[in-house]
């Protein structure tokens, strides 16, 4: 998501970095090559274009919005199924110790530039690294409270020096005091890597309620709207539903799964409900037109309305809005970018053809 303009290093410095394939600048900027239409990490071994053919961007989404595709060699959107090693190490440490507070000084000691960390977490999680740590502590605190842990002990375990400080921080996030949260729910959010780039997944304790591409321009407002709609805070973390979703998505992209089984919740207006329910009925590997979708919801001629509702779908891939195309067979619009729509359709149709 666009979090405001980011400051890039001087152009001469960026040129030196990509000419040296300097991995230290990965995540600090991305370079796009006008002659190929592809954008890369500075460390990409395939990138040695002439400076006149290069554009520089601070984030992957800015590169995509400018019309460039991610490089298949260096995979700037982390499409290898795992976050970068330095991110994985930070996440592992935070998860293992909910009281930890990793400061900018700590990052510098590890030779990780704080600006690189802030950019990565804002881009992939919609919040700064410090906010991620704080909400992760609160999410674990809520889980402990649900299981009957003592409030004072919970606050101390999560790194607070006083019960009042813990209570104030807890109320700011959850909107209620810790003592009134034994049965409280929240929306748990997690970032998953995939062949179409990072995905933001969210679930309540009962169902998956959100799956979106991490570089969507409106992602930040979507998450705020999600929180407001369910009247629950969005907290980084894990639960059984997100684990099931991760496993099913892995099987889907590996060609082993055609029908998702994880529970979904997608509240909306009666019209939205009709459209999304019809989307769920489109068979794997097949497409229908917007006109046909309008007929199926009982409103022939309402192509524009169903197109808008398609764009409002909060659960991409699982509610397969990518399977709706123009009357002439052209792909039409897709909030995640037409290259993703083409990827998903090609993936399904290729596997369907291989088994028929």
Catalytic positions are 321
Are 192 and 198 in contact, with CB atoms under 8 Å apart? Answer: yes
CA 123/CA 121 separation, integer angstroms: 5
Contacts 24+ apart (CB under 8 A), 275-280: 275/306, 275/309, 275/310, 276/309, 276/313, 276/319, 279/310, 279/313, 279/319, 279/320, 279/321, 279/323, 279/324, 280/319, 280/320
**CA dist 345 → 226, 253, 312, 325 (Å):** 27, 12, 20, 10
DSSP string, 66-125: TT-EE-TTT-TT-TTSS--HHHHHHHHHHHH-TT----HHHHHHTT--HHHHHHHHHHHH
Are 212 and 316 in contact, with CB atoms under 8 Å apart? Answer: yes
**CA dist 219 → 61, 99, 132, 234, 312 (Å):** 11, 29, 16, 13, 12
CA 88/CA 91 separation, integer angstroms: 5
Are 187 and 198 in contact, with CB atoms under 8 Å apart? Answer: no
Are 158 and 305 in contact, with CB atoms under 8 Å apart? Answer: no
Q: Coil, helix or strand for 33?
A: strand
146 φ/ψ angles, rounded to the nearest 5 degrees: -60, -35
CA 116/CA 337 separation, integer angstroms: 25
Are 40 and 69 in contact, with CB atoms under 8 Å apart? Answer: no
Are 213 and 340 in contact, with CB atoms under 8 Å apart? Answer: yes
């Amino acid at each position: 998501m666009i979090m405001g303009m980011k400051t890039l290093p001087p152009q001469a410095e960026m040129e030196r970095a990509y000419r040296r394939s300097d991995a230290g600048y990965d995540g600090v900027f991305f370079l796009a090559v006008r002659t190929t239409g592809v954008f890369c990490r500075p460390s990409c071994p395939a990138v040695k274009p002439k400076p006149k053919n290069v554009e520089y961007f601070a984030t992957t989404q800015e590169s995509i919005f400018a019309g460039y595709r991610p490089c298949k060699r260096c995979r700037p959107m982390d499409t290898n199924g795992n976050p970068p090693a330095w991110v994985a190490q930070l996440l592992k440490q935070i998860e293992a110790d909910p009281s930890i507070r990793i400061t900018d000084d700590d990052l510098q000691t590890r030779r990780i530039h704080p600006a690189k960390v802030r950019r990565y977490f804002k881009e992939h999680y919609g919040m700064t690294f410090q906010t991620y740590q704080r909400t992760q502590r609160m999410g674990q605190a809520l889980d402990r409270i649900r299981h009957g842990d003592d409030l004072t002990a919970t606050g101390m375990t999560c790194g607070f020096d006083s019960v009042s400080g813990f209570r104030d921080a807890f109320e700011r996030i959850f909107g209620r005091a810790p003592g009134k949260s034994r049965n409280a729910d929240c929306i748990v959010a997690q970032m998953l890597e995939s062949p179409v780039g990072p995905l933001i997944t969210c679930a309540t304790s009962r169902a998956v309620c959100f799956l979106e591409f991490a570089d969507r321009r409106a992602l930040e407002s979507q998450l705020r709207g999600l929180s407001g709609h369910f009247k629950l805070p969005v907290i980084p973390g894990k639960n059984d539903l997100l684990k099931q979703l991760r496993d099913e998505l892995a099987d889907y992209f590996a060609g082993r799964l055609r029908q998702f089984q994880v529970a979904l919740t997608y509240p909306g207006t009666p019209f939205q409900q009709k459209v999304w329910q019809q989307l769920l009925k489109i068979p794997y590997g097949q497409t229908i037109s917007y006109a046909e979708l309008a007929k199926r919801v009982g409103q022939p001629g309402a192509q524009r309305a169903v197109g808008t509702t398609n764009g409002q779908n909060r659960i991409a891939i699982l509610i397969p809005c990518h399977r709706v195309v123009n009357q002439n067979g052209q792909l039409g619009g897709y909030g995640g970018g037409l290259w993703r729509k083409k990827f998903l359709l090609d993936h399904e149709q290729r596997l369907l053809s291989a088994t028929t």
